[in-house]
């Protein structure tokens, strides 16, 4: 058997193959059915947050967003137990267990760079900046699977406007927490730590870009990026940085982590584009988590509202 070093493991090889995914869904269904029969709990209660969980962690003042898709929401159990979160594990089912004791309070976020109001804010102060919205977004992973999630947060632009970026601010850089004692994946050289992502300023200011602190009516689970992450629904999932501790405004394009790791495979923009394949697989189709058959991938993940941001750009060159 060939054993690779952790730093040599590409994202695509970690993703389960088609047969494995369908088998996993079958086995998960059997397990859930057995649990339901043994306890008397309904299947729906096992696949979505229970009433008691929502009552305990419900986010107050939540309103529905006009940005939401009407597509069927992916079951909570899948979204909270099938995660790309290399800080904890390269296995999709690893983060849920490994992150359960991750400490999200106290938590500070440093805001600096090309802004007039440099500051360090408590995460709860950020959460209270604007009324929370529930936004049901499609979310596409570069390996070929997708989910539909009711995220909770508000437009990142609300925060950006309050710190008053200078005219030199062309990009926004997001740095995630570096804490190997809590994140065992950071003890391995899978990627360069801490994880860094970035957006062009107009992308960050677009109302679809979400500063996110909850999902499914409750606070974010640790394995889904608690306590604070961004969600950029027209880009591949790795662009949506989790567990953010620093937001820096820059003149130059940030060096994002996956672009450093494999620049020929992961570009800075990473817009969902069925016409630009990954060097090792097609991006023309995707499989919704929990479904067997594939569906066509939509340009910009179906969010045509952002197309004007890239007018005149060669999206095969700036992938």
DSSP assignment of 14-53 equals HSPPHHHHHHHHHHHHHHHHHHHHHH---HHHHHS--HHH
What string of DSSP letters covers 139-182?
EE-TTSEEEEEEEEEEEHHHHHHHH-B-TT--EEEEEE---TTT
Digitized pLDDT (tens) for each residue of the chain, 319 residues in all: 333 444 444 444 444 433 344 444 434 443 434 433 333 333 333 444 544 344 456 788 899 999 999 999 999 999 999 999 999 999 999 999 999 999 999 999 999 999 999 999 999 999 999 999 999 999 999 989 999 999 999 999 999 999 999 999 999 999 999 999 999 999 999 999 999 999 999 999 999 999 999 999 999 999 999 999 999 999 999 999 999 999 999 999 999 999 999 999 999 999 999 999 999 999 999 999 999 999 999 999 999 999 999 999 999 999 9
Which long-range CB contacts under 8 A does 47-54 form with residues at least 24 apart?
Answer: 47/75, 47/76, 47/77, 47/78, 48/75, 48/76, 48/77, 48/216, 49/76, 49/216, 49/217, 49/218, 53/218, 54/216, 54/217, 54/218
Question: Both tokens of residue 291?
Answer: 């479904």
Whether CATH 3.40.50.2020 fits 59-310: no
Q: How far apart are CA 110 and CA 232, in angstroms?
A: 21
Name the pTM for this structure.
0.84
């Amino acid at each position: 058997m060939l054993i690779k070093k952790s730093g040599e493991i590409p994202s695509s090889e970690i993703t389960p193959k088609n047969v494995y995914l369908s088998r996993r869904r079958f086995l998960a269904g059997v397990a859930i059915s057995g649990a339901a029969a043994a306890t008397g709990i309904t299947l729906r209660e096992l696949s979505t947050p229970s009433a008691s969980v929502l009552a305990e962690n419900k986010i107050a003042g939540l309103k529905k967003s006009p940005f939401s898709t009407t597509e069927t929401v992916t079951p909570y159990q899948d979204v909270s137990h099938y995660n790309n979160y290399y800080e904890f594990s390269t296995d999709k089912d690893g983060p849920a267990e490994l992150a359960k004791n991750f400490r999200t309070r106290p938590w500070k976020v440093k805001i600096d760079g090309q802004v007039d109001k440099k500051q360090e804010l408590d995460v709860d102060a950020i959460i209270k900046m604007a009324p929370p919205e529930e936004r049901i977004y499609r979310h596409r992973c570069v390996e070929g699977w997708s989910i539909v999630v009711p995220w909770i947060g508000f437009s990142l632009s609300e925060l950006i406007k309050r710190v008053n970026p200078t005219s030199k601010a062309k990009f926004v850089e997001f740095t995630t927490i570096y804490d190997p004692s809590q994140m065992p994946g950071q003890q391995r050289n899978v990627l360069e730590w801490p994880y860094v992502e970035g957006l062009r300023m107009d992308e960050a200011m677009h109302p679809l870009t979400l500063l996110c602190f909850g999902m499914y009516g409750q606070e974010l689970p640790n394995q889904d990026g608690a306590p604070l992450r961004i969600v950029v629904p027209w880009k591949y999932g790795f662009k949506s940085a989790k567990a953010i501790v620093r937001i820096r405004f820059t003149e130059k394009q940030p060096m994002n982590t996956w672009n450093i790791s494999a620049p020929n495979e992961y570009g800075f923009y990473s817009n969902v584009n069925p016409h630009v394949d990954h060097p090792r697989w097609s991006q023309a189709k995707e499989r919704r988590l929990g479904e067997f058959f594939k569906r066509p991938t939509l340009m910009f993940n179906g969010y045509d509202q952002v197309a004007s941001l890239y007018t005149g750009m060669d999206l095969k060159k700036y992938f």
